Amino acid sequence: MTVAVDWNRQGDNDVALPMSRDEARQCVARIARHLKEARALLLELYEREGWRGIAKTLGGPPNSTWVTRANRSRAAAGVRW
């Protein structure tokens, strides 16, 4: 398993080595798995009306900014109203 590059590193001698083809393929596969899981979680949030729980936590109904973000999340998950 590879480790992501620490972009906040301090030293000048730190060099990120290029990925091999196999490492790049493994990295892309891991990203794809995580995106698939994120889509499934967004769909579950939408289908089970998770926004209601969030609205209660925030102390009221969603405002227009919240709705915009929710719509973007829904679109990212491929969910249609």
Q: Where are the domains of the chain?
A: 21-76
- How far is residue 79's CA from residue 65's CA, in Å, rounded to a whole number? 19
Tell me what pLDDT residue 13 has.
64
Nearest CA to 46 among 17, 10, 21, 81?
81
pLDDT in tens, 4-51: 655 555 555 667 899 999 999 999 999 999 999 999 998 898 889 887
Write out the H or E segment, with its range, that includes residue 11: none
Helix (H, G, I), strand (E, B) or coil at 4: coil
